[in-house]
């Protein structure tokens, strides 16, 4: 048979899925390797999706989504970021991953470079490669609390650099970029005339620090604005399987956005859109309960790691802990998590799933029940 295209053959394996699917196939395994919220969905959200099907509202919607949902996303963005946007800048997408693909499709030509964090979410590199672009990793070092440094990023900028990728709160790190540094990152993009794609999947979950969107420091003048913001309801409301989120674009790009959306997915399924509308406009008890659950799990798991002498990054957001297991991983954490699953019956995501700087680290998901979490962390070897 003919060969696949070279840029597809070069897309690496997603190590998160690799270990998680192995865990799903292991009877009795504790699965702490994937970020899947474990709460039952609110009934009003389920009923809104079912009502859409009951009334047979299953035709195409506008490319950008139903108007009421676009306005609901805009209202949430205004409330949580302080940035005044209208619904015309909101494009309903098939989950945050499709939103990232959408944004990169708009901004990257073959051979263009996109600056992505290391450690960072694996699809940042995977998606850009699928678009024939070149991911260039900027380092997030343990010695600097895994925060980006302006000098490190600026040193990597070339004439081919087009996009700066930001992610706060971070998956996998749980790190949150503060206001001053966020402003400096936007100023860096302005100096070098770069676009910014800001992945804000976990904006609802920060602990004792604010979430700061780069859009706060962006221009609102068409032709000068540069920040695309990707948000999702997958994590905020546990709607991972409904595949629903939004891409918020700079002003003045509406016609181009519609054209590209038509080429990628046309529109998002209408039941998912109505369920999302109910989630955004209905009671917010789910979000508040989830935040406190993740905070409690973070604190309990952190205490367990301290008792074992295992270093970790104090998570300020998202629902992960980033822990150092270099004392046992032997320089190959990807192989070690497979052995640990076989021997101890627990799966963690290997740090190398997120970049080379993740060697020796693991990502621990805090989404499920606390006892299961503590049982899994309790099986980690003590650091001598």
C-alpha to C-alpha distance for 250 and 197, rounded to whole angstroms: 11
Asked if residue 65 is part of any domain, the answer here is yes
Q: Give the domain-ending residue among 281, 315, 337.
A: 281
Residues 256 and 140 in one domain: yes
Strands across the sheet containing 320-324: 30-32, 346-350, 361-365, 320-324, 312-313
Confidence band, pLDDT 50/70/90 cuts, at residue 10: confident
Residue-wise pLDDT tens digits, 186-218: 999 999 999 999 999 999 999 999 999 999 999
Residue 38 has pLDDT above 90, yes or no: no
Asked if residue 76 is part of any domain, the answer here is yes
Asked if residue 102 is part of any domain, the answer here is yes
Confidence band, pLDDT 50/70/90 cuts, at residue 220: confident
Domain, as residue range, for 185: 43-281
Neighbouring CB atoms inside 10 A of 165's CB total 26
Supply the mean pLDDT for the chain.
Answer: 96
Residues 223 and 124 in one domain: yes
Contacts of 18 (CB under 8 A, 6+ apart): none
> Average pLDDT in the 292-311 region?
98
Residues 192 and 302 in one domain: no
Asked if residue 172 is part of any domain, the answer here is yes
C-alpha to C-alpha distance for 62 and 45, rounded to whole angstroms: 21
Residues 340 and 300 in one domain: yes
Percent of the chain residues past pLDDT 90, beyond the cut: 91
Q: How far is CA 170 from the centre of its chain?
A: 7
Long-range contacts of residues 23-27, Cβ cutoff 8 Å, at least 24 apart: 23/341, 23/347, 26/341, 26/342, 26/345, 26/347
Q: Give the domain-ending residue among 235, 255, 281.
A: 281
Domain of residue 25, CATH code: 3.90.1150.10
| This prediction's pTM | 0.96
Number of domains present in the structure of the chain? 2
Confidence band, pLDDT 50/70/90 cuts, at residue 5: confident
Residue-wise pLDDT tens digits, 90-120: 999 999 999 999 999 999 999 999 999 999 9
Domain of residue 262, CATH code: 3.40.640.10
Phi, psi of 261 (to 5 degrees): -60, -40
Q: Give the domain-ending residue among 249, 281, 313.
A: 281
Confidence band, pLDDT 50/70/90 cuts, at residue 369: very high
Residues 190 and 334 in one domain: no
Residues 243 and 97 in one domain: yes
């Amino acid at each position: 048979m003919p060969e696949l295209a070279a840029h597809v053959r070069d897309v690496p394996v997603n190590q998160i899925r690799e270990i998680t699917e192995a865990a799903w196939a292991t009877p009795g395994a504790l699965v702490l390797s994937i970020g899947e919220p474990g709460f039952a969905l609110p009934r009003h959200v389920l009923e809104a999706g079912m009502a859409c099907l009951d009334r047979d509202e299953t035709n195409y919607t506008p490319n950008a989504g139903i108007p009421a949902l676009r306005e609901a996303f805009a209202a949430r963005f205004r409330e949580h970021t302080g940035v005044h946007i209208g619904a015309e800048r909101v494009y309903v997408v098939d989950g945050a991953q499709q939103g990232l693909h959408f944004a990169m499709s708009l901004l990257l030509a073959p051979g263009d470079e996109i600056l992505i964090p290391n450690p960072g979410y694996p699809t940042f590199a995977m998606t850009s490669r699928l678009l024939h672009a070149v991911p260039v990793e900027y380092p997030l070092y343990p010695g600097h609390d895994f925060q980006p440094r302006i000098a490190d990023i600026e040193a990597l900028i070339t004439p081919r650099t087009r996009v700066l990728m930001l992610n706060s709160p971070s998956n996998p790190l749980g790190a949150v970029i503060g206001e001053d540094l966020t402003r400096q990152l936007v100023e860096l993009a302005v100096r070098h005339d770069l676009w910014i794609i800001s992945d804000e999947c976990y904006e609802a979950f920060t602990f004792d620090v604010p979430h700061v969107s780069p859009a706060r420091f962006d221009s609102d003048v068409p032709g000068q604005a540069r920040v695309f913001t990707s948000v999702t309801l997958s994590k905020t409301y546990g709607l991972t399987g409904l595949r629903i989120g939004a891409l918020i674009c700079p002003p003045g790009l509406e016609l181009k956005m519609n054209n590209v959306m038509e080429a990628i997915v046309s529109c998002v399924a209408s039941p998912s859109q109505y369920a999302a509308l109910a989630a955004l406009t209905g009671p917010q008890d789910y979000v508040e309960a989830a935040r406190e659950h993740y905070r409690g799990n973070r604190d309990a798991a952190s205490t367990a790691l301290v008792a074992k002498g295992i270093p970790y990054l104090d998570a300020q957001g998202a629902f992960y802990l980033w822990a150092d297991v270099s004392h046992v991983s032997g320089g190959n954490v990807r192989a070690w998590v497979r052995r640990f699953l076989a021997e101890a019956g627990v799966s963690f995501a290997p740090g190398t799933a997120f970049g080379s700087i993740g060697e020796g680290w693991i990502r621990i998901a805090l989404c499920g029940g606390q006892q299961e979490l503590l049982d899994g962390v309790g099986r980690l070897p003590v650091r001598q």
